Structure 1
């Protein structure tokens, strides 16, 4: 896998984080949407009546609702949301937050086509904790969870095939973690030994002419 791809993705993630912070600062000055307490949202209140303290927090930004939940209710909550019309799993995004006690998080984006609504679920975990797989609800969660495992090392229970999806088996490390070296690592061998020389990377000009 091209190291440039991962450098660009890390760079984009950093830009998005800076942009989010800047937007939050600008919203206070210009009256733009800002993060607001969402715990009094009727939708959140309804969920809290059932799931109690497992609904940890909720915030809104513009029309987008984010709900922090315990991983223990991920499956039953998602089943309820499916019944509510949130039948499309848009994405599952891994997050590495090394300064936090729970140093990893997963962000689940669900969409309701009927009402044209989106909700984001956020689950925070410590490294090594198992997160329930959503493949029993959404088949598309299979590859999304494999990517979170591959790029961040996040583990999922009851996943049918939790293997790397971008990097090859035997690759050491998880390229989108913030402790992964930006300069990359020397794998000592190429993913395609019949095409690229030992040590990885594209063949040198002299190799091409050989």
Structure 2
């Protein structure tokens, strides 16, 4: 039996598939979690529906993945951003995934729906270089402003590119 199975029988997936025919690409379950892959163009509408009408009001996680060179992946975008939503009344979770590709990966910001997406989007931007259109303060959060690379991309060398010179030296007297 495959670890990934179709979830067409789950009520929320059926609602999403009926309401957002052009946006829902596929759905699956993995280790008990519902996962729905959606088109970039319908992302905000799907997230808005899940929050305002379906009761998935809590954005518990927003993160990124780089699939460059992934052995079992022959199709799809290089990057995926996932939104883990929680329905607090029932503790149900749903993971909304959206693909985004080079050369200029960008998605609409979820900040209008969840203020808590602020720092999560900034972290994904800082580590993967994925821009969030409409984000009010999209800037680096973990790396120095002078840093020009994105360390969680698969094409980033394990030993870095000599960026250490970009980090200011702090002596014991300064700290």
TM-score category of the 2 structures, normalised to the smaller one:
0.7 to 0.9
Structure with the greater relative contact order (CA < 8 A, sep ≥ 6): 1 or 2? 2
Distance 1:97 1:41 in 2: 28
Larger helix proportion, structure 1 or 2? 1
Question: Structure 2 length normalisation: TM-score?
Answer: 0.87
Name the larger-Rg structure. Answer: 1
What TM-score do you get using the length of structure 1 for normalisation?
A: 0.73
CA RMSD of aligned residues (A): 1.8
In structure 2, how many angstroms separate the alpha carbons of the residues matched to 1:129 and 1:172? 16
Q: 1:73-99 CA deviation, whole Å, 9 max, x = no partner?
A: 111211111122211111111111124
Identify the match of residue 57 of structure 1 among 26, 37, 59.
26
Structure 1 runs of 4+ with >6 Å offset: none
CA distance in 1, matches of 2:138, 2:126: 9
Query: For residue 67 of structure 2, what is the aligned residue in structure 1?
Result: 97
Q: Deviations over 1:98-152 (max 9, x none)?
A: 2455111101111111011000011011121320000011111111011111100
Q: 1: distance between equivalents of 2:157 and 2:34? A: 34
- Residues 12-65 of structure 1: CA deviation (Å, up to 9, x unaligned): xxxxxxxxxxxxxxxx4xxxx832111343221111111112100000124310
Moved more, 83-92 or 116-125: 83-92
> 1:190: Cα distance to partner?
5.2
The answer as to whether partners of 1:39 and 1:57 remain within 8 angstroms in 2 is no
Specify every segment of 5 or more residues in structure 2 that has no aligned partner in the other structure, as ranges: 70-74
Q: 1:184 Cα shift?
A: 2.1
